[in-house]
Every structure is written in C-alpha cells, then in structure tokens.
Amino acid sequence: MAKTEHAQVERSIEDGVIRLSISGRLDRHSAPAVMDWIRAWLPKGDEKVGLDLGRVEHLDSAGAAILAESMQMARAKGCSLELVKVSDAARRTLEILRYQDTLPAVDSDRPGFIEGLGDWLIGIGQSSMRLLLLMSDTFYWALVGPFSGSRGAPRGEVIRQTVLLGSKAFGIVALLAALIGLTMALLSAHQLRQFGANIYAANMVAIAMAREMGPMMTAIIVAGRSGSAIAAELATMEVTEEVDALRAMGFSPIRFLVVPKLYAITITQPLLTVVSIAAGILGGMVVAAAALGIPPEPFLLQAGGALTLSDVTTGLLKSLVFGWIILIVAAFCGLGTHGGAGAVGVSTTRSVVWAIFTVIIADCIFSLTFYL
C-alpha cells in the first residue's frame, strides 16, 4: 500500500483479476503520486485490471486526467483497465467532464433500513459536532481575539461588514415592515370599527411589531439577503481553496472570516429591528388615519402607552439571537461546501432555508418562555 498526501492506493487480486483501489482525495496534490503507483502496477500483456474508485471522497479535473492517462497507458501495454466501482463524488466529476462511457452501471443495491438509519444518525452526529466546534471557535475568538495579540481580520473589516449587513439593508427592512404594519391595521380596521374600538388598532400594531413581527420579519429579510451572501462568499472561498490558503499562512479562518461578521450583525440586527418596529407603527398610523379616522398624534400616543419596556427588550433580545443564528447557519453551510460551482448554489439555498427554519423554532421557544 502506498500513502500519498491525500489518497491511498491498494493493489489486490480478486478471482485472478488485479484490482487497484484508490481512497481519499484524488486531486492535483495526490494525482502525480497515484499515477506513479498505477504505472508501476499495470501489467504487460493481455490482462484485465479493475480500477476501484468506490472510496474516493473527492475528485477534481487533475484526478480525472490521471484516470484518462492511465487508460491510455494500459492500452499501450496491451492490458485492459476498466472502472469497476465509482463513488458518488467521483461519478459527479466524471459526468461533468463527459466520461459517461467509461463509468460502470450504478449499483442498484440499496442499504437496508437499519444501515440507512445508522448512516443518517452518524451524519447527524458529525454535523452536530462540526456545528458545535464552529460556534465555540466563533464566540471564543470574538471574546478573546481582541486581547490575544495574534493576527486577525484586516483593519476596517468590521466597519465594512457593518455597512454591508446593516445600512444597505435599511431600505428593504423599513419598506417591508411598513407594509406589514399597514396590513395588520387594515385587517383590524373592520372588526374594531364595529365595536367603536378604533383606537385599539394602535395597541395591536405596536405590540405585535415590538414582540413578534419586527424581530421576525427583520430576521427573515436578513437571512434571505445577508445570510445567503455570507454563505455564498464562504462557500466560494472553500471551493477555490482560499480557506486552506488562510490556514497555510497561519490565519484562523473562523477569526479572519466569521468573527468580523459576528461583530457586525451584533451591532446591526437590533438597530434594524428598531427600524422595523418604527416603520410598522408608522404604516399602521397611515391606515388608522385613512380608514379609521384616527389622527396621527392620538395613534402614536396610544401606541407608546401600550408598549412596555419588557416588550421592547424582548424584541431586541430576539433580534440579537436571530442574527447570531443566521450567521452561524450561513458560516456552517458555507464552510462545509465541497465540490464545484453547483455546490455553492446548494449551500446558499440550504443556508437560507435552515436559517429561516431555525429562527422560527427559536421564536417559538422565546414565546413559550416569555408569554406563558
């Protein structure tokens, strides 16, 4: 057996047929060494050789080129080299590079229920461990990094991220929050008018925006706008090996890439939530003046009297936690990307879906905790 930097090559004989098995990462780093072993082990004469890629975790264009060169070398030596097993990761790369004719048929045998359940549980456990490590590294460097004296993010990176995550999201957050407040006031106008309780539309809009709709709508907008951008950026850097380059230069990718975004979203998320709450109340005020006959000043006084300090602090606490959730989920999906450009899109979509899902779950937990 020969060990390369990223791959292993094993030679065995099964039913009189030579089999060369490759495992690990077959990329530009390991491909030359793998080629040397294949060249040494290919026999001369009319013999069949099976090439097993069933345990290949990653295959890039350099690895595919080595496979093509190996087949040409086998023909020159007079032997037959065929792929007998191909992993899903290797199959995707070979299909992209138009190697379909050389691929063996897909094995129709599916794992049993118990085996599939075990693989699923193992995958969940591994993902949970990676998530916990990411969270611990992020918050550790966020607290210790400024005092450690070692190299961190470039100067001004936090300000740049604050602008990207905060000020550039101001307009869309304010607009959608105003529309939400307007819609809630419209829905309540008909019923409240029947009971002569028009003024209580201000209570409903103010409390709903401060407790629930303001933090929730802001988080959904930020997850779709900023969370997707973070995931796409980190996924692209992972695919193009920029993250590996940072490690090689002695930088912590978490501290260099994720921590500045944590600082920025900690600052901007509560501020965007305040903007969302204010815009929602103003939107409700417009409907109250137009449909319920309530002047702006009484509406604002009624809304201010309905709000308590607990309502505002609860909404701001939610917004802070929601921002952290969005960042951690985006970083987890982005840094866990493997493959090509298609994998970047998949990771970006996954980050948005999981961020919104997790934010809704967190909001339910907050509601059960504070309002029961």
Residue 144 confidence (pLDDT) above 90: no
Q: Under a CB-based contact definition with an 8 Å cutoff, are residues 227 and 258 in contact?
A: no
The whole-chain average pLDDT of the chain stands at 85
Question: With bands split at pLDDT 50, 70 and 90, how would you rate the model's confidence at 334?
Answer: very high
Which of 9-18, 84-93, 225-234 has the highest average model confidence (pLDDT)?
225-234
pLDDT value for 236: 92
The mean-pLDDT minimum among 299-308, 335-344, 361-370 falls in: 335-344
Question: With bands split at pLDDT 50, 70 and 90, how would you rate the model's confidence at 4?
Answer: very low
The pair of three-digit structure tokens given for residue 302, joined into one six-digit string: 């009624």
* Residues β-bridged to residue 21: 10, 52
Higher pLDDT among residues 93 and 333, named by residue: 333
Domain range list for the chain = 2-102, 133-371
Which of 116-120, 132-136, 289-293, 342-346 has the highest average model confidence (pLDDT)?
132-136
Q: Distances in Å between the alpha carbon of 219 and those of 28, 178, 212, 334? A: 41, 15, 11, 19
* The model scores a pTM over 0.75: no
pLDDT value for 102: 56
Residue 318 confidence (pLDDT) above 70: yes
Residue 40 confidence (pLDDT) above 80: yes
Report how far residue 235's alpha carbon sits from residue 338's, in angstroms, rounded to the nearest whole number: 8
Which residues, other chains included, contact 35 with Cβ-Cβ below 8 Å and sequence gap of 6+? 66, 69, 70
309-335 and 341-371 helices, crossing angle to 10°: 150
Higher pLDDT among residues 74 and 358, named by residue: 358
The mean-pLDDT minimum among 16-30, 119-133, 248-262, 342-356 falls in: 16-30
Report how far residue 335's alpha carbon sits from residue 343's, in angstroms, rounded to the nearest whole number: 11
pLDDT value for 260: 92
Report how far residue 141's alpha carbon sits from residue 158's, in angstroms, rounded to the nearest whole number: 14
pLDDT value for 61: 83
pLDDT value for 2: 42
Question: With bands split at pLDDT 50, 70 and 90, how would you rate the model's confidence at 103?
Answer: low
Question: With bands split at pLDDT 50, 70 and 90, how would you rate the model's confidence at 111?
Answer: low
The mean-pLDDT minimum among 41-55, 218-232, 310-324, 350-364 falls in: 41-55
Residue 370 confidence (pLDDT) above 70: yes
CATH topology of domain 2-102: Transcription Regulator spoIIAA (3.30.750)
pLDDT value for 151: 67
Question: With bands split at pLDDT 50, 70 and 90, how would you rate the model's confidence at 261?
Answer: very high
C-alpha radius of gyration, the chain, whole number = 29
pLDDT value for 359: 95
Higher pLDDT among residues 14 and 133, named by residue: 133
Question: With bands split at pLDDT 50, 70 and 90, how would you rate the model's confidence at 69?
Answer: confident
Higher pLDDT among residues 185 and 98, named by residue: 185
Question: With bands split at pLDDT 50, 70 and 90, how would you rate the model's confidence at 1?
Answer: very low
pLDDT value for 189: 76
Over residues 337-354, mean pLDDT: 88
The fraction of the chain above a pLDDT of 70, given in percent, is: 93
* Other beta carbons within 10 Å of 7: 25
Which of 3-7, 77-81, 114-118, 178-182 has the highest average model confidence (pLDDT)?
178-182
pLDDT value for 3: 42
**Which amino acid type is present at position 196?**
G
Residue 91 confidence (pLDDT) above 50: yes
